[in-house]
Amino acid sequence: MVTRVRKTKSEERILTAAAELFYANGLRGVGIDQVIAASGVAKSTLYAHFRTKEELVATYLRRTDDSWMAQLQDAAARTGGGPREQLIGLFDALTDAFDRHGFFGCPFVSAAVEADLDSEARAVTVRHTRRRQSWLTELGERAGAAEPDALARQIGLLIDGALASGRLLQDRAVVEEAKSAARRLVADRT
């Protein structure tokens, strides 16, 4: 029992350190030795939990997927309105993330650029995008969109564009501009 608690705490420290480093520096910009130093675990402990860097990256991205989807859904729900308002309100999650972390962009866009096409990181990134799009499509259907798939793709592009532009321009206003574009898009499509 004690071993499992220690293992869980070590794993959590590794993942927390890796997440901070990957988010700020990209996947390729971080070496295993940096993760070890930042987490304060021994190399053998890291490798007991994650056999390879790719395994660590994939686990980080899966956790980020769950966290990011929860943040988007929470921001949408906070509007207190129906699906139309939720499609716009979800952009508040981007503002919240920018306020919390700064302008480091989207971990999934970064992973898509940095990861090999046949890597687990890319597979996790594709699953995240499909999961997000499925949720956006569902919101579009409930909002009465004639083409909910198209609306979901367009909202997804606004999300990704705001995250990428925020990273590039270091300007919080890009989220408000994306949210404004979403407002017009939802009004036109529903």
pLDDT of 106 reads 84
Digit-coded pLDDT (tens) for 17-72: 999 999 889 899 999 999 999 999 999 999 999 999 999 999 999 999 999 999 99
Report the alpha-carbon distance of residue 113 to residue 24 in Å, rounded: 15
Q: Residue 14 is encoded by which pair of tokens?
A: 């590794």
pLDDT of 5 reads 43
Burial class, 141, CB count within 10 angstroms (exposed 0-12 / middle 13-18 / buried 19+): middle
Digit-coded pLDDT (tens) for 92-150: 999 998 888 777 778 888 888 898 999 999 999 999 999 999 999 999 999 999 999 99
Identify the CA nearest to 76 among candidates 96, 91, 58: 91
Identify the CA nearest to 105 among candidates 174, 177, 155, 37: 174
Report the alpha-carbon distance of residue 89 to residue 71 in Å, rounded: 11
Task: Kindly write down the DSSP assignment for every residue of 171-182, as one continuous string.
Answer: -THHHHHHHHHH
Higher pLDDT, 160 or 104: 160
Handedness of CA 130, 92, 180, 104 (dihedral sign): negative
pTM for the model stands at 0.87
Q: Over 70: is that where the pLDDT of 180 sits?
A: yes
